[in-house]
Structure 1
Amino acid sequence: MKLYFIPFACSLATRIAVEEAELEAEFIQVLPGQLLPDGRPFSAVSPMEYVPALETGGTVLSEGTVVLTYIADLAAEGVLAPAPYTEARYQMMRWLNFVATEVHKGVFSPLMTSKSSQGARDWALGMLHKRFDLLSRQLEGQDYLIGSFSVADAYLLAVLNWCEHAGVPIKTWPVLEAWRAKMRTRPSVVRAMATEMPLLQAA
């Protein structure tokens, strides 16, 4: 299984998931604007040139939520996701998609590109409160989004890591700030972040 990543991008969630499940994977760093080590453009793997992307056998997958679900299904049952066809599984999918659409794309994407206008940034910050309030209510008094660790938590952590860089005042939501701090002590997260931090600093 080959996983394509950019250090501390949303693809960090896939590394956390692989670490958590003790799976084997080859991680290939994507350098924007450069060819992959095998000489192909990254668009040959991920048409939109987004990470994470995954290759294994004849399977090529892009889109972060799909890649994370695939990894969850490779893991032992209950390690990264509840069992299929259960209410808990669908709740996990709900939060996985909420992080992808409402938080990652809806809030952080406009804040983290130099191509955004000030109006777009103001709009994204205006969207922030309702979404972070909802996450805070969900995490109040519990450690994980659905009661046990899942790929949705890995994705949310990867996104919340961007707060300071994006100018998002996470201290306004002490539940989220405390949750992020606790998640950063989880062994799989510690290993994943320790692996990617030198790569980020060297980029």
Structure 2
Amino acid sequence: MSDGPVTLTADDRATRFWLAAAAAFLIVQIVTLALMGRIPICECGYVRLFEPGVNTAGNSQHISDWYTPSHIIHGFLFYWLAIVALPRAAFGARLTLAVVVEAAWELLENSPIIIDRYRTATMAIGYQGDSILNSAMDTVAMVLGFLFAVRAPVWLTVALAIGFEVATAIVIRDNLTLNVLMLVWPVEAVKAWQAAL
């Protein structure tokens, strides 16, 4: 039997507002990608939980791939950035900031200028951009990383980030660090090493 209507506190209302705002920014990302002409799912016509190929037509088209750990690390980094940028802000405001930054990156990453940059400067020679599904799931992966960083000790978060970077460097010869390096300051020796995979 209920004791009566549940009354939300100001903190509860603020949390709901910020979570709704974060969800709204994800929806804006999805709609904008559609307006940019991005395909909803892989042109292959099916959806995989994980795409194991790196330089394949399915990369960046399915729910997750070898670049998903990079987006989880984004969540770690954005959590720490939000603490510095918004030291007195509520959790929801920090999460919303992280979603805005990730969504902005996803839109930029799928613009012709960045797609072309990936093709010319990195190992992603045939990169066509993300499907809408993959891009949205990249943002979800960032949120999962953010939520992990909220709860986990700093040492564990750092260890996991290093583990992700080392594992993906070994398996696919790429990771977040190398990806940023090759986009900003391409190194021919790194490109040659990556191409030898």
TM-score, normalisation: structure 1: 0.29
TM-score, normalisation: structure 2: 0.30
Higher CA-based Rg? 2
Richer in helix (by share): 2
Richer in strand (by share): 1
